[in-house]
Every structure is written in structure tokens, then in C-alpha cells.
Structure 1
């Protein structure tokens, strides 16, 4: 029974807790027990707040008994990515330099979750400062994929996606600067949503309030169902005076979108999103999924996306912008935390150090050229999206590869090890909202995801389309080996 509870949708947990049909204490105990039994195989969590979570669950139960006003996530467990600060809980950013770091304040998004009644189970694994598209670091090691423990989870929100997929949390918070919500969601077979830029504020604890457009960096939900993601987004969305990019409050609830008519949806699809390499298996699965969506009433048409620049030129623009961002990270940590990431005695992954060093050598002309290419990308994507309600692509060019792979290939073709196997990062240059929805499995049982891209300020369109895919190609009953074998046992 306890394992079955761990795969219950967050919306159902919230409703049953509020109705008095389910005890917050029993819910938290079930998840903590499962984490204790399974997490050492996954390294999804790097810090577990067992005593604190149990204490808060007891308080949540007492609040129900006393008839207090309850928030929408009252008593619902949640996992927080280890790049996001939680007051009083170790937050390492995946870095040895912060292995014992304990913040004294919550990030804004965490405060909103806690104010809504959510109970934090722990912090989830991430590469150092979110630098890589696989989740591993020298503090905790690598996270493993619940569908195959020899495979990657993707990154950088890999611990969060693995936790949700394996029934170690019904909801998890992710962040996304080049695909870090969507990549692991696709690899782990869960739903990940990157809402409008500014929809979820980054908040007061950010030293540099302007860094999050270098490139567009988002906070968003990872969940097993679209409705669960909408429930979480309702809580964390909204303006914040501390974030200069935060958007005004959107009208209504995101959950209301899921009840709207969706059979007349128009979908434009690009299999390669402008010359990305795609495996035969991924392509056939995505095309099969699109056929099902067409049969269910959607209008599905191919769209030709042609960028002015080559893949290499576009990716170099992304790298230049990220390098500039990491110079800011370097300077902020050196000034405010007395940590010099380039010092000889500081243990830092080569990827982080290299990005900072290259960033320090960039001149203003190179940044201007990167912005010009970014503008070109923006215009082409807006032109494509404007023709349809939603734009669809594969999320990844292939399924999750083996943990010890440094140079992934796609059907024998070598690709860029960081982003050559992903189709996500262009949206962090253009600013479009996007989600990754599970649509099927490879022959060896690994999840395959479809990326749904909306117009600027169209995260409701993404949710609406995601709900249509979920209804047409339901995935909620799919459980990875780390879940279903023990759930039935």
C-alpha cells in the first residue's frame, strides 16, 4: 500500500489530505520509507530532510484537525533541486566548494511552495552549478535512470526527474537554462514544463537579478501528470518585485486550461528542429505519436525550420552567452562567498573552470555577434510557431545513454557531447515556453519524449497541448523497474 501511495498523483494526494481521507504523516512516512529503500540505487536525493519532513507532516495533520485554512499543497511532499536554496537545509549546488553550505533564507519559489503547505522531502542531485546535460558531480556522484540503472538521467535536473519517475516524490522543482527540465524529463519518462520566462520568479536571494536572461533561465515543475504540473505552477507562478523579469499575475488557474476543448488543436512538427541529428527509433516513435494525435482530432502538418546559421554557429552563440553568465557567477562567488573557483586549491569540474576562463576572454564584439545570432534564431522560431497552436519536435535525438559515455553517438554518428543529442537549448535563446511529454518507449524499454513549444507568453497553450497528448497517449500507468516490481511486491 505504501508504494502504491508513492505513485498517486499529487492532485489526488492534495484532495484526499484536505478531505481528511489521508493523513499527511502517513504520506510523508510512505515516501521517506521508499527513499530509504531505493535512493541509494538512484542517487536522486543528495540530502533527505527526514526529521524535518516528519515534524512538518505532524504540524500539517494538526492544522487539519484544528480546522485551519489549508493551502493547495497542504501536506503534499516535494523535492527541490540542489541549485535552489532552502533555509536551514544543505544546498551544495553540486560543488565541493559548497559541500557544507546551509542557506539562511528560502528562495522565493521555495517560500511559495512552503506557504502553500508543501513539505520538502529533500534536495535532488545536479551537476556542479548545473553546468552539464548529465547529472553527476564530485560531491555525490552520478544519478541513475530508474528505467535502467546503467543509463544517465539527463541534466541538470536529473535528480528531480529520477525522483518523480521512481516514486520518490510526486512533484519536484527543476530549473532550465538549456534544457535542464526537459532533457531529464524525457530521459526518465515524466512530464517537465518550462513555463513562460518570468512566470516563476528567481527571487531575492539571487545576487545578480539580471543573469537569468543569459540565456533565458526558467524554474518549473516536474511531475507524473500534466494536472500535477499545473497544480504546482498555480502555486509558484506570479510576480515578485525582486525579479526584474517577473510577469504579472496571469488570470485564472492553470488547471482550468486542462478542461478546455482541445480536439481542434493545430500542431506543426519539425523532426530535426533545423538539422539536429535524430535516431531512427526516436523519429519513428515521434511520428507514430503524431499520427495518433491526428487520429484523435488534431491537425498535424510538417513545418520547415531553416536557420540562417549552421548548428555550430548557433551553438557557439549559446556558449558565448553562457560563458558570460559564468563570469558573473565567478565574480559573485568570489565577492560574496569568498570562493575563488579558479584558484589552484579550489576543486572545480573542468567544464565549469573552462567556461569561466573562456568567458573572461570574450570581448564585446563577440557578445554582440552572439546576440545577433540569437535574434535570428528568435525570429525563425516565432515565424514557425505563429503558423500553429503548438510546435512539436523530439525532446532528445536519442534515448538515455550509458553512464560512462563521454562522447554519445546517434545511430553511429558522433555528436556534440553537451548539446548535440538534445533539441532543447534553442528555446532558451528564443524565450518560448516548452514542455516534454512522454510518448512511448524504445525497444529496450527506455522512455522517449516529445517537446511541445508554444508562442511567447503561451505556457497555457503548452499545457493545453500536453493534456491532449496525455489523454491520447496516456503514460501515467507506466512504472520503471525500480517502481513497479516493489509496488506489486
Structure 2
């Protein structure tokens, strides 16, 4: 993934800026080596070359992006203070608000839902100086691990078109992997940042809920528990360093999210070598051999970097999956399913109704309340475990990126998919930070691992992710004459 080293960015031609990492672009703009217009133009040209084939972006903000770039350059010329992403091209997923643009959620009925205010994550990226070059695709109502909808069409994986780019932030992951932008915004309820990052061979961070302020004004004032504490906003990028920069930008205070926490981005240092719990087996479940190999490589690389890795399983992995289902699927089955049935497309409806048998039975208040009680107990157990093993190395998914359309094959296949996504739902249920970092390719298909740490210890995830990234030598999915 280290496709350009520090100190040489200024020697590249402006037409190659789309290859650079976000921190390099920001540094070059601050030095005056390039302009924001140079960077934005380069990414727009890359979008023109690749988006017609991949369909990662639902629309391109060409004129407004160039205008914002010129304003960024004028601000630098005045000697004003610059944000960490000043002049850097980014994308925003089409299920959060950007003032004056439609928040479509990939739904035909929402094609004219024009936002009157920015979502907090949008505001924070703009305050950091970022320039929005486009909006990224998502499945209708973000309900699938595949990115396709009746309004915007299908997003393809830049590596191989017969596998999913992930969902629901599949447009974001495909855009980053194809070089359309160095950083993309995504969100994650059950794995929708981490899984697309995994499928497209880029890095994706699910922060702790409360780290990045979250709210979508066009969706109304009322948010369920899952929307408050399972659904988070997070970045996707081609390097962990860019995730670090982007997280800092996204995490600024916004009073519209009452759950925002002013937690420091760097936690207290840990004495001695950091102990890592390696999870390469889960009782009763199969982990695909290429993923087990990726975990072994990552464990070795972490040991090379000074970590102490032990094969040990954290508490009650399956319990965490069940808790996610009992809380989130109760809310979906009870309140959201009729909306999907009425306004969703065929894919969203089919996926939802294939998931419901796995949930099993009718939603009840007792089941919902018991889910919260079990969640509290499991979080307590994990907190104790993380005191001994501050970092957990585990799969992102138990299977390689899924063949296209697999989630439309009925309840039996959907049950297999849901089981494979246990590591994603588990971490969401516990409200822990999770980092998906690529380790390489298997037969041309991206593969990677997930790094987990305690609440608000994204810094531990990122540090371990950088240690893996530096040794992985992950290639990039640049195509189309790259």
C-alpha cells in the first residue's frame, strides 16, 4: 500500500496526484508544491476514466469541487491556518447529508430528498479543509453486503467484477481502491465500513460509537438504539496513516450528537510489549484457509514489530453475534421492515426477508430487553479480557469476498453469509473499534484481517494496522491505464 514515500510526492506530475495519499496531498498543498485545483482536477480525471466502468460514484461534484479547490488555494495564499485535509479530494456516501444535494440512500423514492444542512461528519471534513468530489453508492437503505440499487445501479469491485465490492459502503471502497479519491467517508452498522474495505483491499476503520458525531437531519430527529450505538461514521483509505488523519478530522465536536464523547485520540501508553490475542478458530465455525493464512502472516508481522502474540479466544464470540441480532434485527423487523417493503427495491426486500428466518420468531419486548442485559454482561467480560490483551487479531469475515449476488439465493445461503460476518457484528454489538487492514491477494482476490481494541482505543488499532501494512506490500487495484 505504500505506493509513494514521503519526500518524493512533489516530484510526480500533477496528473498523477490521484495516486497519492491524502496526507501527502495536504502536505504538498501546504508547501505550495501543488494546488488544491491540481489535486481535485487529477482525481476528477481519474473519476472520468474509471467510474463509467465501476459505478462507485452516484454523481460527481465537478463544478462545486473546483470552486472549493480554488477557495482552498486562495485561503493558503492569504496565509490562513490550514486544516489537516486542506484541499484534499474526498467522497461522501449518499446516505448522509450534504447541503443542497439529495440524500438518496440508493432509494428511488428519495431521489429528490434535498438536504438543508450538513450531517456532522460532512461538516467536520469540510472544516478540516477537504473538498467533496462526489457521492458514493450504497445498496437501498444500506441493507446488503452488495452495493446495487434500482436508482444508481450496481457498483463493481475494481479487482474482480464477479465478487462484491462490499456493502453498504461499497461505492466508497471501490472509489478508494480505483484511485478516485484518497479518502472516502463510510458508515458501519454491522460491518459496512470494514467489510467493503476487506473486499476491495483497502483500509477501513469502524470507530467507537461516540467518537465521530453522527446524525442525518433528513432522516428525522428520532434514532433507535442501533442507530445511536451500532451505526458509526468512519473513513476508508489506501493507508492507515490516512485513516489516522481522517479520523482526527471526523471526530470534532458537534452538539447535534448527544452521544459524542470528548475522548483523546491517543490513549495512555502500555508498559512492555503489547499482548495480542490471535483468534484463528471459532468453535463450530469454519474459517477459510486463505484467511487463516492471512491471520498467521499478520501475527508474524506483529511479532516482528515487537508485539507478543498468543492464540487465545476472547469471551463468548457467538453470544455477541446473537446480541447484535436480538437488538438490531428486532428494531429492523419491528419498525424498518415495512419501509423497506414499501420503498426498497427487489434486492433490498429479498435480502431483508432472507435475513429474518435467521433472526427467528416474532420480535418481543422481552427479547429486546434481554439483549441489552446480555450486552452489558458481555461488554464487562470483554473489558476484563482487553485489560490482559489490549489488541485482538481476528478475521474481518470468515469467508473470502462473496461472489456477486450470493445474498439473493434465499434464507439458507443468507444464514451462511450471516455466520461468515460474525466478527463484524460481534464488534459492532460490543461498541469496540475495529480496523480492517489488507494483507495481500489470494488468486487475485483481496484478503485481510481485523484489528480490535478497547473502547476509544482506535490508536491501538491504527498502530497495529500500520505494523501489518508496512510488511504486507499490498498492491493497488488501479486499472484503466494506470
Deviations 1:364-390 (A, max 9, x none): 112123224434543443343332120
1:341 CA displacement = 5.1
1:142 CA displacement = 2.1
1:72 CA displacement = 2.0
Q: Tell me if the contact between 1:153 and 1:187 (Cα under 8 Å) persists in the aligned partners.
A: yes
The equivalent residue for 1:429 is 429
Q: Tell me if the contact between 1:238 and 1:247 (Cα under 8 Å) persists in the aligned partners.
A: no
Q: Tell me if the contact between 1:324 and 1:359 (Cα under 8 Å) persists in the aligned partners.
A: no
Deviations 1:8-30 (A, max 9, x none): 01000001011111111111111
Q: Tell me if the contact between 1:60 and 1:75 (Cα under 8 Å) persists in the aligned partners.
A: yes
Q: Tell me if the contact between 2:26 and 2:84 (Cα under 8 Å) persists in the aligned partners.
A: yes
1:391 CA displacement = 0.4
Q: Tell me if the contact between 2:301 and 2:468 (Cα under 8 Å) persists in the aligned partners.
A: no
Q: Tell me if the contact between 2:212 and 2:233 (Cα under 8 Å) persists in the aligned partners.
A: yes
Deviations 1:400-426 (A, max 9, x none): 2321333799xxx96725422222110
1:190 aligns with 2:202: yes
1:236 aligns with 2:250: yes
Q: Tell me if the contact between 2:36 and 2:70 (Cα under 8 Å) persists in the aligned partners.
A: yes
For 2:414 and 2:336, the matched residues in 1 are separated by 29
For 1:41 and 1:98, the matched residues in 2 are separated by 25
Aligned with 1:223 (options 237, 248, 256)? 237
Q: Secondary structure at the match of 1:486?
A: coil
Which one has a larger percent helix, Structure 1 or Structure 2?
2
For 1:289 and 1:352, the matched residues in 2 are separated by 33
For 2:293 and 2:408, the matched residues in 1 are separated by 24
Q: Pick closer, same or farther for the CA change 1:290–1:53 going to 2, 3 Å.
A: same
Deviations 1:145-177 (A, max 9, x none): 111122111111111111111101100111111
For 2:282 and 2:462, the matched residues in 1 are separated by 21
1:151 aligns with 2:146: no
Q: Secondary structure at the match of 1:391?
A: strand
The equivalent residue for 1:115 is 127
1:301 CA displacement = 0.4
1:280 aligns with 2:275: no
Q: Pick closer, same or farther for the CA change 1:261–1:15 going to 2, 3 Å.
A: farther
1:243 CA displacement = 1.6
Consecutive unaligned residues of structure 1, counting only runs of 5 or more, are: 335-339
For 1:72 and 1:439, the matched residues in 2 are separated by 27
Deviations 1:417-474 (A, max 9, x none): 54222221101111111101111211x1211111000012211211222222223334
For 1:273 and 1:172, the matched residues in 2 are separated by 32
1:289 aligns with 2:298: yes
For 1:416 and 1:346, the matched residues in 2 are separated by 21
- TM-score normalized by the length of structure 1: 0.86
1:66 CA displacement = 3.0
Q: Secondary structure at the match of 2:448?
A: strand
- TM-score normalized by the length of structure 2: 0.87
For 2:388 and 2:409, the matched residues in 1 are separated by 34
The equivalent residue for 1:337 is none
1:318 aligns with 2:318: no
1:282 CA displacement = 1.3
Aligned with 1:271 (options 280, 284, 291)? 280
Tell me whether 136-145 or 116-125 shows the greater mean CA deviation. Answer: 136-145
Report the count of equivalent residues: 463
Superposed, 1:46-195 pairs within 5 Å as 46-195=58-207
The equivalent residue for 1:486 is 481
1:306 CA displacement = 4.9
Tell me whether 398-407 or 427-436 shows the greater mean CA deviation. Answer: 398-407
What RMSD in Å do the two structures reach over aligned CA positions? 3.1
For 1:364 and 1:451, the matched residues in 2 are separated by 33
Deviations 1:306-357 (A, max 9, x none): 528xx4x7545423322343378649xx9xxxxx6555x8757315875899
1:213 CA displacement = 5.4
Q: Pick closer, same or farther for the CA change 1:360–1:329 going to 2, 3 Å.
A: farther
The equivalent residue for 2:447 is 448
For 2:430 and 2:197, the matched residues in 1 are separated by 21
Consecutive unaligned residues of structure 2, counting only runs of 5 or more, are: 1-12
Deviations 1:49-91 (A, max 9, x none): 1111111112222222233332221110001111111111222
For 2:345 and 2:291, the matched residues in 1 are separated by 38
Tell me whether 13-22 or 236-245 shows the greater mean CA deviation. Answer: 236-245
Q: Secondary structure at the match of 2:294?
A: helix
For 1:279 and 1:126, the matched residues in 2 are separated by 27
Q: Secondary structure at the match of 1:186?
A: helix
